Amino acid sequence: MRTEPQQSVEHSAALRIGDLARMTGIGKATIEHYLRLGLLRPRSVGGQGYRLFDQDAVVRLNVVRTGRKAGFALPELRAALDVVDPSTLINLLNTSSPLQCRAELVTRGAKIEA
């Protein structure tokens, strides 16, 4: 008898803000702030009004944390995420100097100062 492979609970489960905070070490109030700035968007809203997120939100939060450590302002990170996917941005942040990263993002159309 053949069984279907089980999906990882981590990848299929809907996450609430508290879950994101525990998984990333970023406080709930900070996550709320990022939501207001448009750095993060819920996947859906649950029956009781809870905003639900997926694993992509964890990746985006890690991008924001890495970008902040590299000296990027939150509006710059939002502009960058508007033109490149999070995995590309994290790669740029981890392999380039902040100046090189800014220049590359401007080349790709991000509205930030190089």
pLDDT at position 47: 83
CA dihedral 97, 109, 81, 85 (to 10 degrees): -90
Each residue's pLDDT tens digit, 5-22: 333 334 457 999 999 999
Share of the chain above pLDDT 90, in %: 79
Q: How far apart are CA 106 and CA 100, in angstroms?
A: 10
- Residue 45's CB is within 10 A of a number of other CB atoms, namely 10
Residue type, 83: V
CATH number belonging to domain 13-107: 1.10.1660.10
CB 63 within 8 A of CB 77: yes
pTM of the model: 0.82
Place of tokens 């996550």: 31
Confidence of residue 1 (pLDDT cuts 50, 70, 90): very low
